[in-house]
Amino acid sequence: MGRKIDVHHHFVPDAYIAAYESDPSGWQLPRWSVNASLEHMDANGTDVTILSLTAPGTSILQGPAASDLARKINIEAAKIRDENPTRFGFFATLPPLAQDVEPVLKEIRYALDVLKADGVTLYTRYGTRNHYLGHATFKPVWTLLDERKSVVFIHPTHSVHTDLINPSLPQPVIDYPHETTRTAVDLLISNTVKEHPNVKIILSHAGGTLPFLATRAAHLTFDASLSSKDPEEFLEEARYFYFDLALSGNPWTVRFMLDFAKPGHVLYGSDFPYAPTKTIETHLKLLESADMSADVRHSIDRGSAEGLFPRLRLA
C-alpha cells in the first residue's frame, strides 16, 4: 500500500455532537475519535488525512447559532491538525449558504487566514428551495474562493426527507451520487466553473454519476434550450473537476475515471468513519488490484493531492 493522502475522511467533533446527535440522511452518527482515525490510517497505508464534516453540517441550525457552530468546529479541527501536523489537515466548515452569505464570507476568511485551513467544504444544495451551487445567490462565495485560489470539497447531502425513503436503502447508498451530479451540472451550465478558474473543486465519490451522464447532460441541456453552454465546452470543463475515489475504487469505475478526468485529477478517499470498515477495505483492495502504471497509482495515492496541498509533499 502506498503512502496515501485521504481527501474524503470525516470527523465528528464534540461541538457537532452537542448540537445534533443523529444524522437525518439515514445513517447513524458514528462514534469517532482522533485515535480511531489514526488507527484506520495506519491500517490502510494512509499518511495524511484531510478532515471534513459530512452533511448536513451546520444546516441543522440557523442564523448566528449556525455561524457559531461553524467557528467551534473549525477551531476544533485546527487543534487536531496542530497536535498532529504530519497526519491531518482540514476543510473548513461553513455556515449554511442559503441563509446569509455574509457570515459565510467571514468564516471563509477566518478559516483560511487565521486557522490556515486546507480548503472549504460545500454541500451540494442549500435551503428549502433547493438551490444548487451554481445559483446566483452564491456568486459572492465563489468570487471570494476564486480570489483565494481555494480548494473546495463538495459533499452530497440528502435531497428528500428521510420519511419518504425506504429505510432499508438510505439515501447515501444510491441518492448521494446523484446529488453530486446535479450540483456539478449546475456549476457547469451556470458558468460558475468557467468564471472561477482558480478554484479547485473536488467532487465526492468519483463525481457521482457525472462521468457516465456528462455527454447526455451536455447535449440535452443545450438542445432543449435549458442552457446556452456548448456541449463540447461542457464536457471539457467537466473533466477539470477533481474526483475522489471514496467507495468508488473498483477497477471498472477507476478505469473510466482515468479516461474521463484530466491527468492528475483523481484522488484517494476512504469515507471513514461513515462507511463500514469492511466496505472501505474492500474498495481499497479493489483499487489496489486495478491495472495502472506506477506513475498513475502514485498520482492517485498522493501525487494529485500534493499538487492541491503543496505543504503535504514529502521532503
Q: What are the tens digits of pLDDT across the range 37-96?
A: 999 999 999 999 999 999 999 998 889 999 999 999 999 999 999 999 999 999 999 999
* 170 neighbors 25 (Cβ within 8 angstroms): yes
The pLDDT value given to residue 166 = 61
- Residue tagged 497509482 (cell numbers): 297
The pLDDT value given to residue 27 = 52
The pLDDT value given to residue 98 = 82
The pLDDT value given to residue 167 = 65
Give me the percent of the chain exceeding a pLDDT of 90: 83
Distance, CA of 152 to CA of 145 (rounded, Å)? 8
- The grid coordinates of residue 146 equal 476564486
pTM exceeds cut of 0.85: yes
For range 14-30, the mean pLDDT: 71
pLDDT tens-digit profile of 273-286? 999 999 999 999 99
* 312 neighbors 269 (Cβ within 8 angstroms): no
- The grid coordinates of residue 233 equal 465546452
Is the pLDDT score of 314 beyond 80? Answer: no
For range 229-236, the mean pLDDT: 98
Calculate ∠ Cα 155-158-223, nearest 5°. Answer: 80
φ/ψ of 67, rounded to 5, equals -65, -40
The pLDDT value given to residue 233 = 98
The set of residues, in sequence order, having a beta carbon less than 8 Å from that of 165 and lying 6+ positions away, is: 26, 171, 175
pLDDT tens-digit profile of 96-121? 998 789 999 999 999 999 999 999 99
Round the average pLDDT of the chain to a whole number and report it.
Answer: 92
pLDDT tens-digit profile of 208-222? 999 999 999 999 999
CB atoms within 10 A of CB 109: 12
SS3 assignment for the chain: CCCEEEEEEECCCHHHHHHCCCCCCCCCCCCCCHHHHHHHHHHCCEEEEEEECCCCHHHHCCHHHHHHHHHHHHHHHHHHHHHCCCCEEEEECCCCCCCCHHHHHHHHHHHHHHCCCCEEEEECEECCCCEECCCHHHHHHHHHHHHCCCEEEEECCCCCCHHHCCCCCCHHHHHHHHHHHHHHHHHHHCCHHHHCCCCEEEECHHHCCHHHHHHHHHHHHHHCCCCCCCHHHHHHHHCCCEEECCCCCCHHHHHHHHHHCCCCCEECCCCECCCCHHHHHHHHHHHHHCCCCHHHHHHHHHHHHHHHCHHHCCC
Does 26 or 175 have the greater pLDDT score?
175
* 245 neighbors 257 (Cβ within 8 angstroms): yes
The pLDDT value given to residue 13 = 95
Is the pLDDT score of 158 beyond 80? Answer: no
Q: Which range has the worst mean pLDDT, 21-25, 34-38, 51-55, 178-182?
A: 21-25
- Region 4-312: CATH code: 3.20.20.140
pLDDT band at residue 130 using 50, 70 and 90 as cut-offs: confident
Is the pLDDT score of 163 beyond 60? Answer: no
Is the pLDDT score of 168 beyond 80? Answer: no
φ/ψ of 5, rounded to 5, equals -115, 120
